[in-house]
Structure 1
């Protein structure tokens, strides 16, 4: 008999049994007889996970007196090993296995052969199905296949009958129900506490046994067609360019999507009597078991790709295509996803979205840029997070340490809540400074401005009391749009920002796209990916090449600022002629609008981002043409140290408070002296208290930082005497100490300045 025929024979009888009115225990007693007879097996037993132990619930062939008496810990004996590892065992001689345990009350001493499969629900073992024979022999593959298919149907029967603990059925078995701590890659700092919510909700299979096999087959065929269309569309999108890792991943997806072996296995599962959803899940279970045996990381990645495709197919065939965002968040939530796009993140309720966990993710991913602006902590590179976390689990996200705690013990939860409370108390103290102007102890006014890029960010101006927006990242509108934003769309956004800011200044940075911020609707003329995106064809370089893009933005900004002051900043300027070329685009649009008799801005101030070190050598040429310079410390640092900040090994290696950086910044400050120019810093460096102390000591009097940092930096400014820190900085830069960070921290402590 084939595996399909054996499984079909059993499932047909199980289908009739499930519809009967006898008790759940009575059904299980009949289930073991049905399986035993179909496989001609002398013993068939079902063990269920109850209160953390595997309890013998029904048996054919073992002593009936052992039912509900024999109990095994997860991981103990052959049955416990199957549950713990979610693996299949097939042994000609049971006693030959190192985990074998003899239970005399069962009367199993006369049986030699043993086979067992886990009963799995939602990727967790809730029980074990075993068969035994007196004769020492390995079970045939067809018998094992039939057992695995039956175990899957049993999982739903057992859950619906309430025979397994709620904790067991919904979550990991054994030790996995307790606390787990995972370490990943720090993407956005911060602390968050909430319940786990999956971006792609788990599909609950309501019916496992098919009424009409051919109807189920047609449902799968249609789902395959739709899935292949989606993959073909993704492969053809310009976002993925030509060549590179992304194309390789998509080609692998395409290979699996068209793999006849995969579709054949799903068809065979349908032939055995399963519904379309159950057939896909059955093949998925087999894949997961194989994944647990794979040591090769490359092969494991490919199996993960197949898992993702199976999930996509399951969502299509079940009609459950929405994300958690469309269903709404009902409580403080931590979002779990393999990866996310920025537009997908913005669909969530910001009041209840507390953190994000990504199985993939990188420091330069678009979603990370947006999450940082939203103030949502993010941890990435947490492989198999979706397999370890249950929907609704309590999660602790420590973005500072890049750790995720799953199902924390009460003591750990209490300590974390204490940290959150202290953080909120500090924030409440900073909020009291909202309407207080930040003057130093010796009367120096420091401008504390905020960075923004989303329409919703503007509300933070009033909440924080920031002096204005020192960096409005116009590219955010491009990143979260499915197509190039029209000039009118851009104009509306810029006008709304200026209206909301009122008298406070707003510095608009022209689009910084390209490189690591590639847009799905733009392709470079070369068609090639930059090997080093941060130093590639991006920002002003790309904008000058695509003059239409910059012209449209220039016109939108000029029209939006009618009757007001417009501050425009060009990113990634590396030579003076680039600034001249960009300003010329604005000058021409200005003349065009003047010819149309349009209302023009009252004043236009131009500035540059100092990110590329080369421009520091040309300040004497450039400064007379400018009203302001903003030092972009994020990019500047990686360019100075030749250290890619997207590389986790290098991300924390080079210190902002090193003599190299500080001496460079001191030269920039010196180069602007004697000129009517406003010099400031944009970037994370200015939002850290110790780093901000160093910048003020160098003579920087404008900081543009994340909204969450405005309060802490305002409070810091009021503790500083600029003459004292200025003199100390001069001495240290002339003769650098062995550890500049430690030296500055000790100086701050001596002067009662909290820099933590």
Structure 2
């Protein structure tokens, strides 16, 4: 286990090797001897990527006759696995790994344990450095970090010796000159066209070995100071003042910038003999590896913030301060990035930023919450993004269809323009009915509410033509905060929303966190194997009733003198609803006893998402003032189909008899108890599916603001009574294709679906 002093010795010896006037092969031979000696390993080997194949270039301990003979494809064997994933791999018993590939010419039969790290340059794996031992053993973290340090120096040596060609990747990229389609994951819906602009050229660390450790340490201190100044200035801008959603996000970002543990780890890397730039990169590489092995989705997503901060430090240290945001966008732009921090996205000019495409990204990342508020479509999880897209390429982002169209043909562009023109005409038509009621031709009135989750959303009620907010997701404030939001902050948010809504109703859903929306400050222990069905939402809130009491009091204080509508998510049993309602009532009584103002009326609702609750509606409904059907979760629970699994995304139809019959049961039961039913979720925002809901008797929908216009226009042109009768017949007959039947009926009525 090499301490910092041993790692420093390795770096000094490698520095001498690099300075020597010997050939590249001789230098690599010396490197493997040094690594083997200093790490007490029987084998040390270097593989380099040549013509797309990993070739054994130098070894100490394996058969010398295998050098330049043993070759592995990317992804083949343990070495290929490391290069393909660009992550370290350590094994006490190498042969037990499913990717182990036996190469008899190497003479490695006697060796059991294996540890390897990628050699990376310009974010591409150009080789692998590996060590092996005869005895089965676990490799310590400090040993892996020592190998990563050597790999960084090797990258510099290999590049300087011309053993790999930086232009090769450029040539391969230039070969990708034809139109292509890349698939991804819709993170923020939308359609956009623009030229590809890379968010930032990755800072390439050219010098890894420090001449003076004290100088490097001082450079790091100065870089941290400048980085923190940048963040403080950003938080002082008018757009990010305290109380806004953006400010909450930047507070978390700022917490990482002042994390002393992060700074200490970088300083420790400098102590081993690295330059400040190399130390930042090594620590971040290790952070990335650790974070990818963590099950907690919140902690994994914070890797994005750390990447952002590390890149800022590297730009300051290297003098390469400009990102595309700093240089300024000059045309309609689709921003390309491996990932983005929220602060980086906020620096772009919204007038020319048309879309964002990420190689990584997830629905719970801070940047996605910001992008949604900015109205910028985002496509994430796009494989081969950097290999297939060139700077300046024409791009079309079709997030709704999970697609990125690269260098589209003239016909594709024409189709896109026609689609945009159609959307513009539709928007004009929807604008005409924005302030009108959604009343069908036969006099059925449908209430159309909008879903929201940010303070800024409430201001869009009038713009969308919504009847109010049918679902305000309170968890966003919890997800973007580094600590549990204090009652005063929660109250300020809820009051802001109520004030913006005016006389329009707002339904606040109590916090739905846990499961795949975990937050670190609540702990929680081991995560569930099926997080959507785990310790989350109302289950978590009742289990941590202090959290729910604080939120209840914040809601009550914000709605003082007004009507408060509060809804509990993921109710599985009537007793859960009763317990949650009693908790809110107890907080109201407590405030009243202290002489504090309370709401003039409180309406209590339940989210119907768990099928078990539908079997107990006769017990639940007498306790409720309203209910909302959450079609997203209800569908995945009903079909046992994870909606986050792309292979199941289109497998189960919202217009299948199973889901429609369940919704009809809820609507009929609620009518007997005179309890209003609202449908929340994506189903209600799709015109044909919304028409099906109305044919089941649903009269209230809560959908995205963008969906209100088309749904309202469709309602005003529809005659609903015959569709209600037809739906009963379709659901009674086996084998009916309800989607086809409903589409034909809509076409006969001349509805725009």
TM range (shorter): 0.5 to 0.7
Q: Is contact 1:3–1:145 with CA below 8 Å preserved after alignment?
A: no
- Corresponding position of 1:624: 622
Q: Is contact 1:342–1:479 with CA below 8 Å preserved after alignment?
A: no
SS in 1 for 2:360: coil
- Corresponding position of 1:712: 710
The answer to whether 1:402 aligns with 2:402 is: yes
- Corresponding position of 1:219: 216
- Corresponding position of 1:443: 443
SS in 2 for 1:631: strand
The alpha-carbon deviation at position 405 of structure 1 amounts to 2.4
In structure 2, how many angstroms separate the alpha carbons of the residues matched to 1:531 and 1:677? Answer: 36
- Corresponding position of 1:190: 190
Of 533, 536, 548 in structure 2, the residue corresponding to residue 535 of structure 1 is 533
SS in 1 for 2:379: strand
What CA deviation, in whole Å up to 9, does each residue of 1:690-727 have, x standing for no partner? 00000000000000000110100000111211211101
The answer to whether 1:653 aligns with 2:663 is: no
Q: Is contact 1:375–1:708 with CA below 8 Å preserved after alignment?
A: no
- Corresponding position of 2:461: 461
- Corresponding position of 1:614: 612
- Corresponding position of 2:249: none
The alpha-carbon deviation at position 415 of structure 1 amounts to 3.5
Q: Is contact 1:153–1:208 with CA below 8 Å preserved after alignment?
A: no
SS in 1 for 2:570: coil
Q: Is contact 1:224–1:313 with CA below 8 Å preserved after alignment?
A: no
The answer to whether 1:148 aligns with 2:159 is: yes
Name the CA shift for 1:213/1:449 in 2 (closer, same or farther; >3 Å): closer
The alpha-carbon deviation at position 448 of structure 1 amounts to 0.7
What CA deviation, in whole Å up to 9, does each residue of 1:416-450 have, x standing for no partner? 23322322332232122211111000111100110
What CA deviation, in whole Å up to 9, does each residue of 1:67-94 have, x standing for no partner? xxxxxxxxxxxxxxx998699999xxxx
What CA deviation, in whole Å up to 9, does each residue of 1:3-60 have, x standing for no partner? 96786478xxxxxxxxxxxxxxxxxxxxxxxxxxx8699xxxxxxxxxxxxxxxxxxx
SS in 2 for 1:451: strand
Name the CA shift for 1:481/1:563 in 2 (closer, same or farther; >3 Å): same
When normalised by structure 1's length, the TM-score is 0.66
SS in 1 for 2:701: strand
What CA deviation, in whole Å up to 9, does each residue of 1:475-502 have, x standing for no partner? 1111112221111111111111111111
In structure 2, how many angstroms separate the alpha carbons of the residues matched to 1:604 and 1:338? Answer: 46
User: Structure 1 stretch 333-342 or stretch 313-322: which is displaced more?
Assistant: 313-322
In structure 2, how many angstroms separate the alpha carbons of the residues matched to 1:469 and 1:558? Answer: 18
In structure 2, how many angstroms separate the alpha carbons of the residues matched to 1:169 and 1:641? Answer: 45
- Corresponding position of 1:386: 386
- Corresponding position of 1:571: 569
Name the CA shift for 1:198/1:259 in 2 (closer, same or farther; >3 Å): farther
> How do residues 293-692 of structure 1 correspond to structure 2 at under 5 angstroms?
314-315=314-315, 317-318=317-318, 332-339=332-339, 352-362=352-362, 375-524=375-524, 527-692=525-690
Name the CA shift for 1:224/1:85 in 2 (closer, same or farther; >3 Å): farther
SS in 1 for 2:578: helix
Q: Which runs of 5+ in 1 are unaligned?
A: 11-37, 42-81, 91-95, 97-119, 125-141, 156-163, 231-252, 271-275, 285-303
Q: Is contact 1:365–1:516 with CA below 8 Å preserved after alignment?
A: no
Q: Is contact 2:373–2:456 with CA below 8 Å preserved after alignment?
A: no
In structure 1, how many angstroms separate the alpha carbons of the residues matched to 2:715 and 2:162? Answer: 66
The alpha-carbon deviation at position 400 of structure 1 amounts to 2.8
Q: Is contact 1:83–1:173 with CA below 8 Å preserved after alignment?
A: no
- Corresponding position of 1:21: none
- Corresponding position of 2:147: none
The alpha-carbon deviation at position 520 of structure 1 amounts to 2.7
In structure 1, how many angstroms separate the alpha carbons of the residues matched to 2:625 and 2:737? Answer: 36
In structure 2, how many angstroms separate the alpha carbons of the residues matched to 1:280 and 1:88? Answer: 29
User: Structure 1 stretch 732-741 or stretch 145-154: which is displaced more?
Assistant: 145-154
The alpha-carbon deviation at position 226 of structure 1 amounts to 11
Name the CA shift for 1:187/1:572 in 2 (closer, same or farther; >3 Å): same
Q: Is contact 1:539–1:572 with CA below 8 Å preserved after alignment?
A: yes
In structure 1, how many angstroms separate the alpha carbons of the residues matched to 2:507 and 2:667? Answer: 20
In structure 1, how many angstroms separate the alpha carbons of the residues matched to 2:307 and 2:721? Answer: 60
In structure 2, how many angstroms separate the alpha carbons of the residues matched to 1:144 and 1:731? Answer: 70
In structure 1, how many angstroms separate the alpha carbons of the residues matched to 2:474 and 2:615? Answer: 28
Length, aligned pairs only: 576
SS in 2 for 1:601: coil
Q: Is contact 1:373–1:706 with CA below 8 Å preserved after alignment?
A: no
- Which of 1 and 2 has greater Rg? 1
Name the CA shift for 1:343/1:482 in 2 (closer, same or farther; >3 Å): farther
SS in 2 for 1:485: coil
In structure 2, how many angstroms separate the alpha carbons of the residues matched to 1:687 and 1:604? Answer: 28
Q: Is contact 1:363–1:645 with CA below 8 Å preserved after alignment?
A: no
The alpha-carbon deviation at position 587 of structure 1 amounts to 0.9
In structure 2, how many angstroms separate the alpha carbons of the residues matched to 1:584 and 1:317? Answer: 57
Name the CA shift for 1:452/1:257 in 2 (closer, same or farther; >3 Å): same
In structure 1, how many angstroms separate the alpha carbons of the residues matched to 2:280 and 2:566? Answer: 55
Q: Which runs of 5+ in 2 are unaligned?
A: 1-12, 26-48, 58-68, 70-119, 125-152, 228-261, 285-302
In structure 1, how many angstroms separate the alpha carbons of the residues matched to 2:369 and 2:651? Answer: 21
The alpha-carbon deviation at position 312 of structure 1 amounts to 8.6
User: Structure 1 stretch 547-556 or stretch 189-198: which is displaced more?
Assistant: 189-198
When normalised by structure 2's length, the TM-score is 0.66
The alpha-carbon deviation at position 626 of structure 1 amounts to 1.4
What CA deviation, in whole Å up to 9, does each residue of 1:700-756 have, x standing for no partner? 00000001101000001112112111011011011144422122112211221221x
Q: Is contact 2:267–2:279 with CA below 8 Å preserved after alignment?
A: no
What CA deviation, in whole Å up to 9, does each residue of 1:615-660 have, x standing for no partner? 1122222212211111000000011111111111112111110000
In structure 2, how many angstroms separate the alpha carbons of the residues matched to 1:216 and 1:172? Answer: 39
- Corresponding position of 1:202: 201
In structure 1, how many angstroms separate the alpha carbons of the residues matched to 2:427 and 2:410? Answer: 26
User: Structure 1 stretch 487-496 or stretch 323-332: which is displaced more?
Assistant: 323-332
In structure 2, how many angstroms separate the alpha carbons of the residues matched to 1:644 and 1:144? Answer: 42
